[in-house]
Structure 1
């Protein structure tokens, strides 16, 4: 049925009714009882918009004044994670990882949100973690001849919370096989330090000091190696776990070892990113710095990050940086001891430091570490 008003709204302008009738009739679209009969060879005409197009084509498009269509501008609803997800994805892709996207379903474990009409036993509830999906993807890749897998996923997990559902964004990682593609100069397998290094890169790109990430030894999951798993804390707040899959568990999942994984709560990362101080410009140093090396004999259970924090707290304004550069275990030390060496760099913005000034700070640092951890200098 020909509707001139609808055609005018579509085109913005129409010729006179007599001209429209003449055009349609000449095209073989005769009028019968208010409707246009479409000839059998014009199978492309099925609706009023097609008739309007025919009139515009015959009249000539130059007769119609071009106008931009009006469209409402709808602001994007940002849940607070859009920016952080994009930055994390860029960092991980730059580190050589590929992104995985998996189903949001899983088995009905404790705390899971059960589905009313599940497809099967393994998809009976909403997932409570990203790790199982990453393991399945890694095993699939290895079965198809790709032993070196580097995958990440950023997705939602769900947990039942009384009569509500707790929905959170998580980041999951899985690394298998060699650290780098096969090469004559290096053939080392992935380990916990590779996964931790990737997480520290993510923190640095979010403006969070990587030194605030603490790995506290803990058996966070049954399938992880007892001596190669840790609880992750960011600024003292638990944010996830890190670990290496135990060989027997890897075999059950049809995975070739080594397999290293991690999962982090992005809500904790977002909070730390928002709480950080605005970066400030610092001029290049005009005066030389001075560095000292200190090796402390500590209990194996003492975290080097805790010692580093104590050094920073007792080092004062002259302490510019501190990092671990050596760890020793073996001859000359007890079985429950290890030596951790720190390099401390000192600098003053307005003068060259005298040896006596550095010695005074070093004495404070040594006393603080000895008092808090019962350490001794090596």
Structure 2
């Protein structure tokens, strides 16, 4: 939002400089980002008349000008311009001037003759060339013949203005207007504003209601929709003063009708739009949702296909404009227009913001609707626009306003006490002063008791709904600099990480120490990734939350599976010839309870990893062995050891993304704590991967549930351990983990552990059988075990495995 000081002074008097006003605004919570001076570089540029003009004796293109610049004597300036003549008034840059184009004017000589200044062109003064004729753009800028001599050129050129550029917060929609800023100045200065008297003369006998019909279908997106009809419209340029005001606001003048709608938008904060009445099919306008696939042809001559979520203003057949953002090209006001429908409305801010972002269309109007406009202001804005056009003699106004306002807005009321606000601000402001501040800001304050008040919020302050909002109003006008700075006090609590954060750090540190690299990924995914990863069609993982405004069309969903992200990063590495990868990620997935969302989804932290390629880095002393299933299994087992997770079982299982028959499930009881396996062959084909890839996936909440929570320490054993080797032949279908469980159960009180150290099939072993060799450890805390004690335990174990697995002792 930017506005000129001249425009502000049209409605209120103040003596502050532009810089001082900017500082007062900023300290009152209405921040000014920049102060832009239109006259920058024109301090020593004045008007001058060419009294005498003669050729330079030593040049065929230079001319000697004797200039009257309002001083006692004429000054001599030599110029090469050919469009000057005696008697003309031109801008003159005096010695010492620093022009806007960076040129510094000094005394000098041209071909031996002194020159004390320079005649200026439009470009050298940084004038708006788009408003000039071709003749005015070339050569010296010629001023009107009756221009006074010796006065500052900025006054003559209309450049004696200063523009304030505001960086307003989103809640202060009321300050996106000149009148809103004037209200603030009135409170800060104590001066009375000079509000414009708004009244239009309905001088045409026709009734607007007979000419146009309006309605609101999407009542949740449009609160009010109002129109006026003007006839006998004469399209032409707007007055110079209006063009200057609009230029100060950063808006280019187009024609009187369009300029008036823009002027009212900046002045009152109410965006408006003008339609060519004869181009409105059926002479009806309706605020409704666009139909999916409907063509939206806007004033920028761009066509878009509607998604069905956009609010549009439509005539009887098709959209006549994107509501609150940009009008339609077919109903544009042109030089042929004779009857105009003026529209002012109040639209839902979030809806306008979503549509503007989706369409890539951000306008002055959409910016105001996004922040909220005064719903009671639409008739006033229409009257103001008609009044301005009538003052130009550009139209006649039909009878009445056609207004659709289904649910009139009820005033917001707030109760507060003086003590409440003072305690919140840490001040001792008297109640009377608070009442004075709020009243001057437009609030209606009614005393309800001793130091207790009932406040009615003005319609233009959509940001005030609670007592805390009132306290902010009091504080910013009272002056933040008057509120004493105090050190916060209270019970000091040491900040520290939660148990879950420490657990996550331990997992990350452990996996990194095992040679893996942590990835960072966006929490977005797509149906295509689900398909590639072979997620079943009926899996709840496919019930992903759609994103309303996705960063890219390739990732329109919030992820429900961490493996999609890790596979995406793996493919990205493969495409860059990085084939040796060890990645892990600890990140959330988002599981909705139902779609569409009615409550926040469950956010669950998952741990996933991927390894592929060589086991060791390339080197002359390293082998070229590739990682396999047991590398990944070992990583998971080491992680569990660090986390204190023990007494788990490992068994063959299934996972949609992993190879059938090459997938292991780590379990505690019946609960799966990790899935480890080779990437499913079809998934590898889907991702275009031509090498073996191994994955693991875990739920962090499940890991925390089974992690070791209490530990005790034992002294190192004093007595040596005794070992026995057990080699047995069993069916190939028997899992070694099952045998180890039976061994542990029957090993006796001195049993310490079992390790599988050999698996053999082939010669000397029957078909369908396999040989497994285990190392058994026995140890006592109290004594050295005898061979008889170890043999007895060994015999008990052998009998158990023979019984449970029909095993045979291998000689």
Cα distance change on mapping 1:213 and 1:36 into 2, 3 Å: farther
- Note the 1:199-214 alignment, pairs <5 A: 199-209=636-646, 212-214=648-650
Residue 188 of structure 1 aligns with which residue?
Answer: 625
Q: Distance in 2 between matches of 1:140 and 1:372?
A: 49
- Note the 1:217-228 alignment, pairs <5 A: 217-221=652-656, 223-228=657-662
Residue 508 of structure 2 aligns with which residue?
Answer: 89
Residue 563 of structure 2 aligns with which residue?
Answer: 131
- 5+ unaligned residues in a row in structure 2: which ranges? 1-13, 29-484, 528-536
Q: Distance in 1 between matches of 2:748 and 2:17?
A: 90
Residue 302 of structure 1 aligns with which residue?
Answer: 734
1:333 offset after TM fit, Å? 2.5
- Cα root mean square deviation, aligned: 3.3
Residue 169 of structure 1 aligns with which residue?
Answer: 605
**Secondary structure in structure 2 of the residue aligned to 1:81:** helix
TM-score normalised according to structure 1 size: 0.75
Residue 251 of structure 1 aligns with which residue?
Answer: 685
- The worse-fitting range, judged by mean Cα deviation, of 242-251 and 92-101 is 242-251
Q: Distance in 1 between matches of 2:643 and 2:562?
A: 22
Q: Distance in 1 between matches of 2:649 and 2:616?
A: 25
1:225 offset after TM fit, Å? 2.7
Residue 159 of structure 1 aligns with which residue?
Answer: 591
The equivalent position to 1:340 in structure 2, one of 757, 772, 778, is 772
- Residue 217 of structure 1 contacts residue 230 of structure 1 at CA under 8 Å; is this kept in 2? yes
Q: Distance in 1 between matches of 2:602 and 2:496?
A: 20
Q: Distance in 1 between matches of 2:714 and 2:730?
A: 35
Cα offsets for 1:266-300 (capped at 9, x unmatched): 22211111xx3622221122112110000122222
**Secondary structure in structure 2 of the residue aligned to 1:182:** coil
Cα distance change on mapping 1:160 and 1:285 into 2, 3 Å: same
Q: Distance in 1 between matches of 2:775 and 2:652?
A: 24
Instruction: Verify: 1:365 aligned to 2:797, yes or no.
Output: yes
Cα distance change on mapping 1:81 and 1:228 into 2, 3 Å: same
1:94 offset after TM fit, Å? 0.8
The size of the alignment, in residue pairs, is: 323
Cα offsets for 1:301-337 (capped at 9, x unmatched): 2221221121111112201121111111222224432
Residue 197 of structure 1 aligns with which residue?
Answer: 634
Question: Which structure would you say has the larger Rg?
Answer: 2
- 5+ unaligned residues in a row in structure 1: which ranges? 1-32, 49-66
1:349 offset after TM fit, Å? 1.2
- Residue 560 of structure 2 contacts residue 591 of structure 2 at CA under 8 Å; is this kept in 1? yes
Q: Taking CA–CA contacts closer than 8 Å with sequence separation of 6 or more, which of the two structures ends up with the larger relative contact order?
A: 1
Residue 106 of structure 1 aligns with which residue?
Answer: 525
Residue 264 of structure 2 aligns with which residue?
Answer: none
Decide which structure has greater helix share: 1
Q: Distance in 1 between matches of 2:776 and 2:505?
A: 35
Cα offsets for 1:181-230 (capped at 9, x unmatched): 11343211111111111111111111122x5241x223322x53333222
1:176 offset after TM fit, Å? 1.2
Q: Distance in 1 between matches of 2:772 and 2:649?
A: 18
- Residue 142 of structure 1 contacts residue 256 of structure 1 at CA under 8 Å; is this kept in 2? no
Instruction: Verify: 1:147 aligned to 2:579, yes or no.
Output: yes
Residue 144 of structure 2 aligns with which residue?
Answer: none
Instruction: Verify: 1:238 aligned to 2:672, yes or no.
Output: yes
Q: Distance in 1 between matches of 2:734 and 2:623?
A: 32
- The worse-fitting range, judged by mean Cα deviation, of 139-148 and 69-78 is 69-78
Instruction: Verify: 1:70 aligned to 2:513, yes or no.
Output: no
Cα distance change on mapping 1:70 and 1:131 into 2, 3 Å: same
- Residue 723 of structure 2 contacts residue 776 of structure 2 at CA under 8 Å; is this kept in 1? yes
- The worse-fitting range, judged by mean Cα deviation, of 366-375 and 120-129 is 120-129
After TM superposition, where is structure 1 displaced by more than 6 Å over at least 4 residues in a row? Answer: 33-37, 74-79
Q: Distance in 1 between matches of 2:779 and 2:664?
A: 35
Cα offsets for 1:245-279 (capped at 9, x unmatched): 24453232132411111111122211111xx3622
- Residue 547 of structure 2 contacts residue 558 of structure 2 at CA under 8 Å; is this kept in 1? no
TM-score normalised according to structure 2 size: 0.37
**Secondary structure in structure 1 of the residue aligned to 2:688:** coil
Cα distance change on mapping 1:240 and 1:341 into 2, 3 Å: same
